[in-house]
Amino acid sequence: MLDEQAQAADRYFQEAVQAFSSAPGKEAYATKPLKEAAGFLVRAGMHASAMKLYQYLLRTFAALKQPHNVRKAVLCRAVLLLAAGDPVAAEGEFQFALDVDGFASSREAEAIESLVGAYKDGNAEEWTATIEKNTSIAYADRAIAALLRSMPAPGSGGADDEFAEALGEQAMKAAGGGASGRTAADRGLRSAEALGAKQSATAAPILGGSASGGR
């Protein structure tokens, strides 16, 4: 029953995105309810849908000229990619966002860089310290912060399998479930929802940032 309710809620959220997308000038009214919806999807383990919603929010915040909220959305997407076991895509999210004003020197950028580095190096101490000390994680989204705290520290033994599990039931079911389904779901999330070919071609103009904040 809970799974059916989550699926129904996801459909409602996606319909809401379509409604707001077709109503220019109304984007500001969408941000609060859709941020709450994204958190719901994260808690429900529907990470693929959450990725889509955070992407919509990212573009909306950019259109509203709210770079601080753009940074939060980027951080949320990077965490979901790490939960899917894809530090390369998470790092790509970081690189993509360097054109956002103020991102390179932000706490969100610091958090992504530290988490990706710790993941790649298997550095459990740096991973834990980043989660505990970087306040931007809690401010970005409580559901994302809770997801990070629930994930095993890299290098703690058997972490890779557990990270893969964190991909979420929705993506696994879409790929057929089971071990092979998990692999396909992981691959699908990476290719379809990490940065995506269309995003790399169109998102920079939408964000409208300058490269002055790059590294």
Render pLDDT for 7-20 as a digit per residue (tens, 0 to 9).
666 666 666 666 66
Q: Indicate whether 151 belongs to any domain.
A: yes
Give the pLDDT of residue 157: 52
Residue 26 banded pLDDT, cuts 50, 70, 90: low
Q: How far apart are the first and last CA of the chain?
A: 48
Host domain of residue 75: 2-204
167 touches 189 (CB < 8 A)? yes
**pTM, 2 dp:** 0.70
What average pLDDT does this structure show over 116-142?
A: 94
Alpha helices (H) in 84-141, listed in sequence order:
87-96, 107-121, 124-133, 135-140
Alpha-carbon torsion, ordered 93, 95, 98, 100, to 10 deg? -30
Res. 116: pLDDT tops 50: yes
Q: Bigger pLDDT: 179 or 37?
A: 37
Q: What would the mean pLDDT of 173-194 be, rounded to a whole number?
A: 36
Assign 164 a pLDDT band (cuts: 50, 70, 90): very low
CATH of the domain at 23: 1.25.40.10
What's the number of CA atoms in the CB half-sphere (13 Å) around residue 123? 14
Which one-letter amino acid corresponds to residue 158?
G
Is the pLDDT at 118 greater than 50, yes or no? yes
Is there a domain that residue 53 lies in?
A: yes
User: How many structural domains comprise the chain?
Assistant: 1
Inside any domain, residue 214: no
Picking from 163, 162, 185, 183, the residue whose alpha carbon sits closest to that of residue 173 is 185
Top pLDDT among 15 and 95 is at: 95
Residue 61 domain-assigned?
A: yes
Looking at the domain assignment, is residue 212 inside a domain? no
Confidence of residue 180 (pLDDT cuts 50, 70, 90): very low
186 inside domain: yes
Across all residues in the chain, what is the average pLDDT?
73
Within a domain: residue 33?
Answer: yes
pLDDT value of position 20: 63
Residues 26-31, mean pLDDT to the nearest whole number: 75
Q: Which tokens in the block code for residue 55?
A: 């992407």
- Residue for token digits 């601080």? 68
Pair 203, 59: CB distance under 8 Å:
yes
Share of the chain above pLDDT 90, in %: 43
Distance from C-alpha of 74 to C-alpha of 109, rounded to nearest angstrom = 9
Least Cα distance to 144 among 117, 102, 115 occurs for 115
Q: Does some domain include residue 210?
A: no
What is the pLDDT averaged over residues 116-130?
95
Helical axes 142-150 vs 67-83, angle rounded to 10°: 30
Structural element, H or E, at residue 212: none
